[in-house]
Chain A
Amino acid sequence: MDLSAINPILFVAGFLIAATPLIFAAIGELVVEKSGSLNLGVEGMMIVGAICGFATAVETGSPLLGFAAAAVGGALLSLLFAFLTQVALANQVASGLALTLFGLGLSALLGQSYVGIKPPRLGDINWGPLADIPVIGPILFTHDIILYLGLVLVIAVWAMLKYSRMGLVLRAVGESHDAAHALGYKVKRIRTAAIMFGGACAGIGGAYISLIRVPQWTEGMTAGVGWIALALVVFASWKPARLLLGAYLFGGITQLQLNLQGAGVAIPVEYLAMSPYVITIVVLVILSRDKSAAPASLGRTFHASS
């Protein structure tokens, strides 16, 4: 065992990257849940985003186009969920599960001819002299644009929910769909828009795994990140700032166990690999006592009666 093999600067830079897929998927799901829908299909949308982004990036040679395609792919898949829950009024838990099962199959089908290919690389943003600052430079200023976009997105969602009219309406729909409906807001339309936003975010998060973090395509490569993102929303009590904190915590754990595997710690690889999931459970237990922050209409079907 050689812990000195772990470079702390690379480690911190690495966990910012590991946290980014979680940030995207979780901030999208946060908006969905704020609107009162519970979409358990995050894992499915992520993996579809991962392959859509990967395939597009390989075919066009442009990683940015890949991310755009991933967003579209995730949003299209989430539209299925929106149809099931908003139009066909199906059970949200079952519909979300269906989305995940279907997404895993669909991505495997789409990705058959992309196994073992290297995607085009998305270059890091050139921050000029900032990147040369010791310690802080390599940690903060050697990343690609998507990573920064994730941070901007979290701030934007926070501001939107807190200060904008749109955020107020969204929260109203999530807290009491009957009251929002009585005020004349189109509950279903607002929820559908939120669900599609969540799908697009999950898609980008998935593509971040296949295009930047790994970067290659393998079946089922999201490996539960979508589910951890769902747990993260609960962890964050539906607050964007705490969500960011949680994503870095989980990103850190993921990166740490990978580094420990590499350093040859005496703990078997399998037990290190299960640690992020175990810690997710532990965190859920600690935080699940307080349910008060959850949107009051979360998971309830809305049907306007005449």
Chain B
Amino acid sequence: MSLATPLLAVVATMVFGGALFAVLGKDPVQAIATIFWEPLFGEFAFFYRPQLLIKGAPLVLIAIGLSLGFKAGIWNIGAEGQYIMGALFGAGVGLAFYPMESAFIFPLMVLAGAFGGWLWAMIPAILKVKFGTNEILVSLMLVYVAEQFLASMSLGLLKNPEGFGFPGSRNLQQYASAHNAELITGTGMHWGIVAALVAVIFAYVLLARHQLGFAIRVTGEAPRAARFSGVNPTRLVLFCLGMSGVLAGLAGMFEVSGPAGQVTIDFNVGYGFTAIIVAFLGRLHPVGILLAGLLMALTYIGGDIAQSQLGLPAAAIQVFQGMLLFFLLALDVLTNYRLRFGAGEVV
């Protein structure tokens, strides 16, 4: 049942999403086919398939980190902010070395990106363990702070001095030492995708085989039992928030040095929030998240195609993704409870 509900939710979303597209005056079957079929098997699939990896990698990276916390009841919903900070730290280190060429620059940027995300996630983590502050609200507030910080950086410190006054940094794609280039030409494979796969394996081993993974699971399912079994809640909060910050920061760093190329005001496109849907769609399981991330990437790409071919508004895809989370949560009742019809009201 726990495998069937995500699939059921996808089907239900297709049906209701199709209805939504019909209301918008588009052919529902064609719209759904454009979103789910075209990128994989359509005429231009050779172009879209690499995109699937490029868009899926940040989603999977962030969602893996989030899922660790979600499992333990620690809610980091500010991954978008950590993603921005990772990108700023990573790009900042890279740009500081410009125009020097060295093999050390990219690894340093990776470290800086991870550090940036970690730092931003440590704010809600430390406030939570020191003062009991709600991590949901703090991490979310920090997204808005990070967005303003991004605007300030792309208009100020990191602005391209040769950019004719336009906002935005130098393009890292044109700076060989800092460029997160394709590893195998034509596949879209870059270091971020490697990192995402490593994260999936890491999370799987952690949850299935490691003491810390056990602590995470037991805290989520029975907090009291966790306390009796000697789980240290402070360490757990710091680890879960820190890890999700590191992974979100890495996602931002790989994005800014690769597919995006530069720091701009509108650099972040909401991966940090979509990753929440990915984490739940993957049932907080590493392998599930990998598949869910690819599916969500598909809706992004398919949505873009539907936008250009059918004139489907971009917001319709956002609604579509939101719907998916609704159906998933609603159908979870089938996994968590056994329904009995006709039993009447409990008196």
Contacts and interface: CB of A to CB of B under 8 A. Distances in A.
A284 interface: yes
Contact of B149 (A102, A270, A289): A270
Name the residue in B138, B149, B280, B313 with the highest tally of chain A Cβ atoms < 10 Å from its Cβ.
Answer: B138
Nearest to B325: A98
Contacts of B140: 224, 227
A265 interface: no
A268 B137 contact: no
A277 B141 contact: yes
A106 interface: yes
Given A97-B77, A97-B276, A109 B315 contact: yes
Interface in B283-339: 313-323, 325-326, 329-333, 336-337
A274 interface: yes
B144 interface: yes
Interface stretch (B38-46, B128-136, B203-211, B255-263): B128-136
Given A90-B329, A271-B152, A289-B131, A109 B316 contact: yes
A75 interface: no
A91 interface: yes
Contacts of A234: 134, 137
A105 B318 contact: yes
Contacts of A219: 315
Interface string A21-60: 0000000000000000000100000000000000000000
Interface residues of A, number: 49
A101 interface: yes
Interface residues of B, number: 48
B152 A224 contact: no
B137 A101 contact: no
Nearest to A286: B131
Contacts of B322: 98, 101-106
A101 B329 contact: no
Majority-rule SS of B interface residues: helix
Interface stretch (A81-89, A152-160, A165-173): A81-89
A46 to B, nearest CB: 14
B145 interface: yes
A83 B152 contact: no
B270 to A, nearest CB: 9
Interface centre among B313, B316, B325, by most chain A C-beta atoms within 10 angstroms, is B325
* Residue from the set A109, A227, A271 with the largest chain B CB neighbour count within 10 Å: A109
A51 B123 CA distance: 34
A219 B319 CA distance: 14
B326 A98 contact: yes
A106 B314 CA distance: 11
Interface in B102-117: none
B127 interface: yes
A231 interface: yes
The 9 A-B pairs at the shortest CB distance, nearest first, are namely: A105-B318, A102-B322, A108-B315, A270-B152, A109-B315, A105-B319, A274-B148, A90-B329, A88-B333
Given A231-B134, A270-B148, A281-B142, 13 more contacts: A88-B330, A90-B332, A102-B323, A105-B319, A108-B315, A108-B318, A270-B149, A270-B155, A274-B149, A280-B141, A281-B138, A289-B132, A306-B346
Interface of A: 40, 80, 83-84, 87-91, 93-95, 97-98, 101-106, 108-109, 112, 219, 223-224, 227-228, 230-231, 234, 268, 270-271, 273-274, 277-278, 280-281, 284-285, 288-289, 291, 303-306
28 contacts: A40-B136, A84-B330, A88-B331, A90-B332, A95-B329, A98-B325, A98-B326, A102-B319, A103-B322, A223-B144, A227-B141, A231-B137, A231-B141, A234-B134, A268-B152, A268-B156, A270-B152, A274-B144, A277-B145, A278-B141, A280-B141, A281-B127, A281-B133, A281-B137, A281-B142, A284-B137, A288-B131, A288-B132
